[in-house]
A and B are shown apart, each in its own frame.
Chain A
Amino acid sequence: LAKTTQPISMDSYEGQEVNITCSHNNIATNDYITWYQQFPSQGPRFIIQGYKTKVTNEVASLFIPADRKSSTLSLPRVSLSDTAVYYCLPAKDTGRRALTFGSGTRLQVQP
Protein backbone atom coordinates (compact mmCIF):
# COMPACT_ATOMS: atom_id res chain seq x y z
CA LEU A 1 0.00 0.00 0.00
CA ALA A 2 1.20 3.50 -0.81
CA LYS A 3 2.28 5.41 2.31
CA THR A 4 1.19 9.01 2.55
CA THR A 5 2.78 11.93 4.36
CA GLN A 6 0.83 15.06 5.24
CA PRO A 7 1.51 17.98 7.59
CA ILE A 8 0.12 17.22 11.02
CA SER A 9 -1.57 20.60 11.36
CA MET A 10 -2.13 23.90 9.58
CA ASP A 11 -3.54 27.24 10.64
CA SER A 12 -5.32 29.74 8.45
CA TYR A 13 -7.65 32.73 8.61
CA GLU A 14 -11.07 33.16 7.13
CA GLY A 15 -11.03 34.17 3.49
CA GLN A 16 -7.60 32.74 2.75
CA GLU A 17 -6.81 29.97 0.30
CA VAL A 18 -5.44 26.86 1.95
CA ASN A 19 -3.25 24.31 0.19
CA ILE A 20 -2.57 20.95 1.82
CA THR A 21 0.07 18.84 0.15
CA CYS A 22 0.26 15.09 0.48
CA SER A 23 3.30 13.05 -0.46
CA HIS A 24 2.77 9.51 -1.83
CA ASN A 25 6.09 8.49 -3.32
CA ASN A 26 5.28 4.84 -4.03
CA ILE A 27 1.81 5.25 -5.42
CA ALA A 28 0.78 2.44 -7.74
CA THR A 29 -0.20 2.93 -11.34
CA ASN A 30 -3.86 2.14 -10.72
CA ASP A 31 -4.22 4.18 -7.52
CA TYR A 32 -6.50 7.17 -7.43
CA ILE A 33 -5.96 9.99 -4.95
CA THR A 34 -8.91 10.69 -2.73
CA TRP A 35 -9.39 13.32 -0.04
CA TYR A 36 -11.78 13.10 2.87
CA GLN A 37 -12.82 15.67 5.47
CA GLN A 38 -13.74 14.83 9.03
CA PHE A 39 -15.44 17.12 11.53
CA PRO A 40 -15.28 16.33 15.26
CA SER A 41 -17.63 13.53 16.30
CA GLN A 42 -18.57 12.76 12.71
CA GLY A 43 -17.58 10.19 10.12
CA PRO A 44 -15.29 11.23 7.24
CA ARG A 45 -16.88 12.81 4.19
CA PHE A 46 -15.64 12.51 0.62
CA ILE A 47 -14.33 15.79 -0.83
CA ILE A 48 -12.61 15.09 -4.12
CA GLN A 49 -10.81 12.44 -6.12
CA GLY A 50 -8.40 12.49 -9.04
CA TYR A 51 -5.90 10.46 -11.01
CA LYS A 52 -3.73 13.14 -12.63
CA THR A 53 -3.63 16.84 -13.55
CA LYS A 54 -6.39 18.93 -12.02
CA VAL A 55 -9.86 18.21 -10.74
CA THR A 56 -12.26 20.85 -9.44
CA ASN A 57 -15.66 20.63 -7.81
CA GLU A 58 -17.84 23.00 -5.81
CA VAL A 59 -15.83 22.40 -2.65
CA ALA A 60 -12.16 22.14 -3.63
CA SER A 61 -9.53 21.63 -6.30
CA LEU A 62 -7.05 18.80 -6.49
CA PHE A 63 -3.72 19.18 -8.25
CA ILE A 64 -1.69 16.08 -9.15
CA PRO A 65 1.62 16.54 -11.01
CA ALA A 66 2.69 14.28 -13.83
CA ASP A 67 4.86 12.04 -11.64
CA ARG A 68 1.92 11.54 -9.21
CA LYS A 69 4.26 11.43 -6.23
CA SER A 70 2.28 14.14 -4.48
CA SER A 71 -1.07 15.88 -4.60
CA THR A 72 -2.34 19.21 -3.31
CA LEU A 73 -5.82 19.88 -2.01
CA SER A 74 -6.78 23.52 -2.46
CA LEU A 75 -9.60 25.07 -0.43
CA PRO A 76 -10.51 28.53 -1.74
CA ARG A 77 -11.51 31.23 0.73
CA VAL A 78 -11.86 29.07 3.82
CA SER A 79 -14.37 29.80 6.54
CA LEU A 80 -14.61 28.74 10.17
CA SER A 81 -16.71 25.77 9.10
CA ASP A 82 -13.74 24.36 7.17
CA THR A 83 -11.98 23.60 10.47
CA ALA A 84 -11.57 19.83 10.26
CA VAL A 85 -9.12 17.00 9.68
CA TYR A 86 -8.28 16.32 6.04
CA TYR A 87 -7.11 12.90 4.90
CA CYS A 88 -5.27 12.04 1.71
CA LEU A 89 -5.77 8.42 0.63
CA PRO A 90 -4.54 6.44 -2.32
CA ALA A 91 -7.41 4.17 -3.37
CA LYS A 92 -6.89 1.07 -5.42
CA ASP A 93 -9.24 -0.32 -7.97
CA THR A 94 -8.02 -3.83 -7.17
CA GLY A 95 -6.59 -5.65 -4.19
CA ARG A 96 -7.68 -4.58 -0.74
CA ARG A 97 -11.19 -3.20 -1.16
CA ALA A 98 -11.16 -0.71 1.67
CA LEU A 99 -9.58 2.63 2.44
CA THR A 100 -6.41 3.06 4.47
CA PHE A 101 -6.30 6.26 6.50
CA GLY A 102 -3.22 8.03 7.77
CA SER A 103 -3.20 10.60 10.54
CA GLY A 104 -4.47 13.44 8.36
CA THR A 105 -3.93 17.20 8.54
CA ARG A 106 -5.75 19.14 11.23
CA LEU A 107 -6.79 22.50 9.74
CA GLN A 108 -7.72 25.27 12.15
CA VAL A 109 -9.38 28.32 10.61
CA GLN A 110 -9.45 31.42 12.75
CA PRO A 111 -11.54 34.58 12.36
Chain B
Amino acid sequence: NAGVTQTPKFQVLKTGQSMTLQCAQDMNHEYMSWYRQDPGMGLRLIHYSVGAGITDQGEVPNGYNVSRSTTEDFPLRLLSAAPSQTSVYFCASSWSSPNTEAFFGQGTRLTVV
Protein backbone atom coordinates (compact mmCIF):
# COMPACT_ATOMS: atom_id res chain seq x y z
CA ASN B 1 0.00 0.00 0.00
CA ALA B 2 1.90 3.06 -1.29
CA GLY B 3 -0.62 5.72 -0.21
CA VAL B 4 -0.30 8.94 -2.23
CA THR B 5 2.54 9.02 -4.74
CA GLN B 6 3.72 12.20 -6.42
CA THR B 7 6.14 12.42 -9.31
CA PRO B 8 8.55 13.98 -9.93
CA LYS B 9 10.01 14.99 -6.57
CA PHE B 10 11.99 17.86 -8.07
CA GLN B 11 11.61 19.79 -11.32
CA VAL B 12 13.16 22.85 -12.90
CA LEU B 13 11.28 24.53 -15.73
CA LYS B 14 11.98 27.48 -17.94
CA THR B 15 9.42 30.26 -18.13
CA GLY B 16 6.74 29.36 -20.66
CA GLN B 17 7.27 25.62 -20.55
CA SER B 18 4.41 23.30 -19.68
CA MET B 19 4.46 20.16 -17.59
CA THR B 20 2.27 17.77 -15.68
CA LEU B 21 2.70 16.88 -12.03
CA GLN B 22 1.49 13.37 -11.38
CA CYS B 23 -0.48 12.17 -8.37
CA ALA B 24 -1.72 8.66 -7.77
CA GLN B 25 -3.38 7.02 -4.80
CA ASP B 26 -4.09 3.34 -4.20
CA MET B 27 -6.62 3.69 -1.37
CA ASN B 28 -9.72 4.03 -3.57
CA HIS B 29 -10.34 7.51 -2.16
CA GLU B 30 -13.03 9.65 -3.71
CA TYR B 31 -11.58 13.01 -2.80
CA MET B 32 -8.32 14.32 -4.19
CA SER B 33 -6.84 17.79 -4.13
CA TRP B 34 -3.79 19.83 -5.05
CA TYR B 35 -2.13 22.44 -2.86
CA ARG B 36 0.83 24.72 -3.23
CA GLN B 37 3.02 25.84 -0.38
CA ASP B 38 5.30 28.84 -0.67
CA PRO B 39 8.23 29.27 1.77
CA GLY B 40 7.07 29.90 5.34
CA MET B 41 3.42 29.82 4.34
CA GLY B 42 0.49 27.50 4.80
CA LEU B 43 -0.97 25.37 2.02
CA ARG B 44 -3.27 26.97 -0.55
CA LEU B 45 -5.82 24.93 -2.45
CA ILE B 46 -5.43 24.91 -6.24
CA HIS B 47 -8.01 22.41 -7.51
CA TYR B 48 -9.90 19.51 -6.06
CA SER B 49 -12.03 16.58 -7.17
CA VAL B 50 -14.86 14.73 -5.44
CA GLY B 51 -14.76 11.79 -7.84
CA ALA B 52 -13.85 10.66 -11.32
CA GLY B 53 -15.02 13.21 -13.89
CA ILE B 54 -15.71 15.92 -11.29
CA THR B 55 -13.31 18.75 -10.54
CA ASP B 56 -13.60 22.24 -9.10
CA GLN B 57 -11.41 25.26 -8.48
CA GLY B 58 -9.82 26.15 -5.20
CA GLU B 59 -8.32 29.41 -3.97
CA VAL B 60 -5.51 29.80 -6.54
CA PRO B 61 -6.52 27.98 -9.77
CA ASN B 62 -5.10 30.38 -12.36
CA GLY B 63 -2.40 28.86 -14.53
CA TYR B 64 -3.29 25.28 -13.61
CA ASN B 65 -5.57 22.65 -15.13
CA VAL B 66 -6.72 19.33 -13.72
CA SER B 67 -8.71 16.34 -14.87
CA ARG B 68 -9.85 13.18 -13.11
CA SER B 69 -10.43 10.37 -15.56
CA THR B 70 -9.88 7.61 -13.00
CA THR B 71 -10.33 7.29 -9.25
CA GLU B 72 -6.61 6.71 -8.77
CA ASP B 73 -5.04 9.58 -10.71
CA PHE B 74 -5.30 13.34 -10.43
CA PRO B 75 -2.67 15.11 -12.57
CA LEU B 76 -1.98 18.83 -12.31
CA ARG B 77 -0.99 20.62 -15.51
CA LEU B 78 0.96 23.85 -15.64
CA LEU B 79 0.02 25.44 -18.96
CA SER B 80 2.79 28.04 -19.30
CA ALA B 81 5.11 28.10 -16.31
CA ALA B 82 5.87 31.42 -14.61
CA PRO B 83 8.39 32.23 -11.85
CA SER B 84 5.42 32.92 -9.53
CA GLN B 85 4.61 29.22 -9.74
CA THR B 86 7.85 28.29 -8.02
CA SER B 87 6.59 26.40 -4.99
CA VAL B 88 6.18 23.00 -3.37
CA TYR B 89 3.12 21.17 -4.60
CA PHE B 90 1.25 18.63 -2.50
CA CYS B 91 -1.42 16.22 -3.56
CA ALA B 92 -3.87 14.80 -1.02
CA SER B 93 -6.64 12.23 -0.97
CA SER B 94 -9.32 11.26 1.52
CA TRP B 95 -11.98 8.63 1.80
CA SER B 96 -15.24 10.49 1.62
CA SER B 97 -15.11 14.04 2.89
CA PRO B 98 -12.76 16.48 4.55
CA ASN B 99 -14.07 15.15 7.87
CA THR B 100 -12.04 12.02 7.37
CA GLU B 101 -8.28 11.81 7.49
CA ALA B 102 -6.54 13.23 4.45
CA PHE B 103 -3.33 11.61 3.23
CA PHE B 104 -0.69 13.75 1.60
CA GLY B 105 2.05 12.93 -0.84
CA GLN B 106 5.68 13.85 -0.25
CA GLY B 107 5.46 16.86 -2.52
CA THR B 108 6.98 18.10 -5.76
CA ARG B 109 9.44 20.96 -5.47
CA LEU B 110 9.10 23.07 -8.62
CA THR B 111 11.42 25.87 -9.63
CA VAL B 112 10.61 28.08 -12.62
CA VAL B 113 13.52 30.11 -13.95
Interface residues of A (CB under 8 A from B): 32, 34, 36, 41-46, 49, 87, 89, 91-94, 96-104
Q: Which of A34, A87, A98 contacts B45 (CB 8 A)?
A: A98
The reply to whether A41 and B107 contact each other, CB–CB distance below 8 Å, is: yes
B side interface size, CB within 8 A: 25
Pairs A-B, 10 closest by C-beta atoms: A43-B104, A98-B48, A91-B98, A101-B43, A46-B101, A101-B42, A98-B33, A103-B42, A97-B50, A43-B90
The reply to whether A99 and B45 contact each other, CB–CB distance below 8 Å, is: yes
The reply to whether A46 and B102 contact each other, CB–CB distance below 8 Å, is: yes
Interface residues of B (CB under 8 A from A): 4, 31, 33, 35, 41-45, 48, 50, 58-59, 90, 92, 97-99, 101-107
CA distance A45 to B4 in the complex (A): 12
A-B contact pairs, 27 of them (CB 8 A): A32-B99, A34-B98, A41-B107, A42-B106, A43-B4, A43-B90, A43-B104, A43-B107, A44-B104, A87-B42, A93-B97, A93-B99, A96-B48, A96-B98, A97-B48, A97-B97, A97-B98, A98-B45, A98-B58, A99-B98, A99-B102, A100-B59, A101-B35, A101-B43, A102-B42, A103-B42, A104-B42
